[in-house]
Homo-oligomer: A and B are copies of this chain.
Amino acid sequence: MRQQKPKYKQIIDAAVIVIAENGYHQAQVSKIAKQAGVADGTIYLYFKNKEDILVSLFQEKMGVFIEKIRSEIAGKTSSAEKLYLLVEKHFTWFAEEPHLAIVTQLELRQSNKDLRLRINEVLKGYLDVVDEIIQSGKRAGEFRESLNLRLTRQMIFGTIDEMVTTWVMNDQKYDLVATAKEVHELIVSGCGNH
């Protein structure tokens, strides 16, 4: 685990604000340092380089979120319910951290392919949770036995991610959390009429 000195967190929180408010390309290290109340050079005592701030930021925030999700769904037996909690908590998380939503949905994607591969590593933990829900659903007979794990995971993640991105691109001006129920319904039942 990384150093937990206060400045480490200060810098990450500063980065979220600076990137959300200025955009990725206008989020200079010096701006982040100023927002964090440290000198430019200090950043490099806690992070290898600028890219490392971004990855660490995502790791830190996503890590906490994944833990929260895991503990939320731990007690539930129904996979549909677990899936609902995943969607609802995901939406609630970003609704409560609008700056972070901008950073993850818009700004972080402006990074290069290498960075995105590292981000995908972090995302792996989230996708594992999705996989577990799908597997348990299949075992319990709630979900179709024939589901392709990888495709289903991508459908779920793609849907949720697109919902959040569209909401952010629309300046977060409608109630994202309120859509959780319908989104969950779409994922479980698709658009078909059974």
Determine whether the beta carbon of A25 is less than 8 Å from that of B144: no
| Interface members, chain A 150-194 (any B CB < 8 Å) | 151-152, 154-163, 166, 169, 179, 182-183, 186-194
Interface flag for A75 (CB, 8 Å): no
Given the known inter-chain contacts A112-B110, A120-B169, please indicate yes or no for A155 contacting B143, CB distance below 8 A.
Answer: no
Chain A, range 9-45, C-beta contacts under 8 Å to B: 23-25
Please classify the interface of chain A as helix (H, G, I), strand (E, B), loop, or mixed, using the class held by over half of its residues. Answer: helix
Taking the complex as formed, is A111 at the interface, i.e. its CB lies under 8 A from any CB of chain B?
Answer: yes
Who on chain B is nearest to A26 by CB? B112
Please, which residues of chain B bring their CB within 8 A of the CB of A116? 106, 169
Total contacting residues, chain A, CB less than 8 A: 48
Task: Report the Cα distance A192→B182, complex, angstroms.
Answer: 14
User: Which chain B residues border A189 with CB–CB below 8 Å?
Assistant: 144, 189-190, 192, 194
Cβ contacts A68-111/B at 8 Å (1 or 0 each): 00000000000010000000000000000000000000100111
The complex is assembled from copies of this chain, and their number is: 4
In the complex, what distance in Å separates the CA atom of A166 from the CA atom of B152? 13
Q: Find the B residue at minimum CB distance from A110.
A: B110
- In the complex formed, the residue of B with least CB distance to A161 is B158
A159 cross-chain contacts in B, Cβ below 8 A:
154-155, 158-159, 162
Residues in B with CB closer than 8 Å to A155 are 159, 162-163, 183, 186-187, 191
A-B pairs, 4 with minimum CB distance: A158-B162, A190-B190, A158-B158, A188-B192
A-B contact pairs, 21 of them (CB 8 A): A24-B112, A106-B113, A110-B112, A120-B169, A141-B193, A144-B189, A151-B183, A151-B186, A154-B162, A154-B166, A155-B163, A155-B187, A155-B191, A156-B191, A158-B159, A187-B191, A189-B190, A189-B194, A190-B190, A190-B192, A194-B194
